[in-house]
Amino acid sequence: MNFKIATIPGDGIGPEIMTEALKVLDKVGEKYGHTFTYTEVLAGGAAIDAVGECLPQETLDICKSSDAVMLAAVGGPKWDNMPGGERPERALLGLRKELGLFANLRPAMVFPQLADASPLKPEIIDGGLDIVIVRELTGGIYFGERGTEEGTPEGTVAYDIEKYSEKEINRIARVAFDMAMKRDKKVTSVDKANVLDSSRLWRKTVAEMAKEYPEVELDNLYVDNTAMQLVRNPKQFDVIVTSNIFGDILSDEASQITGSIGMLPSASLGEGNFGMYEPVHGSAPNIAGQNIANPIATILSAAMMLRYTLGLSKEADAIEKAVNTFLDQGYRTPDLASRTAVEAGDYTTTSQTGDLIASFITK
């Protein structure tokens, strides 16, 4: 089959890691008989430099007419002094909004070969970890009514409203249950239903949807308990579904317990399987242009795209297997290698990593 992918290399290490991800995708295409047609588009600092704005209309048009979007990273010190609304990172908000991306998927994976990198004790993380956090991305308190009232008898008062509709909750819950069906069939819905009305509606709506998925086990947890459980016993989780603000905080916590930011992919999904796929990390300007960035998060983002948007799960498995082979054989990018190894120059470069992982793709 032929798939149209819009690619946004962006800034900093973006172009280097994107090149490696496309190398791996091309190898998948060759082995499995698919063609990926890439259209490279501008966003972020690169777009500001080229056309004076961080998210040109042409970029949006091409993204919308593609099957999926792959983004590396945007931003960097060169543009740090620009006003907030004009900074490269605004492109991310614009893309989410214009592409209708309402679900953010952040896997928190610890590869058993890298368990040492986790700040958690070996007995907690032993054998690796594989959780997905499904975060609602376009509703809740970040988008609710807000305001600041000055000069009240209590001084200045400010507020932000957490508001969810059944429609929004249903939409995100469906993503979580569908995902659980492709994984270990367990959903943990996270809320604060002991205090918040919006959480009580969340819990009730998720429970209704669970009836459509009798094979999936549903658990409800309060967000404070979830924050504790993520460090005490993270292996109890398979798919976590939660609101925008709780998901923001929990997904950052979960990424820290993996210990290696260069390994973490993410996806933002819209209606009808459309999605944008990107590593969790930023543009790492401190290491840009040196061929030392870890491209694996971007390569694993490509695997997510195959699985969740293009419906190619065998091909996605092949990429994840190839990454495992790379680690099993002892290859390490500088961020994964020991300090002594890095000082001795004993590490795998960005381009070697892409070459090796591509060579490990099997059918």
**Residues involved in catalysis:** 142, 192, 224, 248, 252
- 283 near ligand NAD, rule: CB under 6 A: yes
> Does residue 354 belong to the site contacting ligand NAD (CB under 6 A)?
no
Residues near ligand NAD (CB under 6 A), total: 21
Site string for ligand NAD, 110-129 (x = CB under 6 A): --------------------
Burial (CB count within 10 angstroms: exposed 0-12, middle 13-18, buried 19+), residue 50:
exposed
Query: Smaller CB distance to ligand NAD: residue 286 or 359?
Result: 286
Choices 72-80, 129-137, 148-156, 198-206 (CB under 6 A): range interacting with ligand NAD: 72-80
Is 284 among the residues that bind ligand NAD (CB under 6 A)?
Answer: yes
CA-nearest of 38, 40, 37, 39 to 9 is 40
Q: Does 73 bind ligand NAD (CB under 6 A)?
A: yes
User: Would you say 259 or 285 has its CB closer to ligand NAD?
Assistant: 285
Beta carbons within 8 Å of 14's beta carbon, 6+ residues apart:
8, 44, 46, 72, 73, 74, 283
Residue 57 burial (CB < 10 Å; 0-12/13-18/19+)?
exposed
Residue 30 CB, shortest distance to ligand NAD, in Å, is 25
β-partners of residue 38 are 5
Residues 8-37 that bind ligand NAD (CB under 6 A): 13
In what side-by-side order are the strands of the sheet with 103-110?
Answer: 35-40, 2-10, 68-73, 275-279, 265-269, 103-110, 129-136, 239-242, 186-191, 217-222
Residue selected from 16, 89, 136, 168 as contacting ligand NAD according to rule CB under 6 A: 89
Binding to ligand NAD by residue 282, rule CB under 6 A? yes
Q: Tell me which residue has tokens 């790492």.
A: 284
Residues that bind ligand NAD (CB under 6 A): 13, 73-76, 89, 92, 261-262, 278, 281-287, 293-294, 297, 335
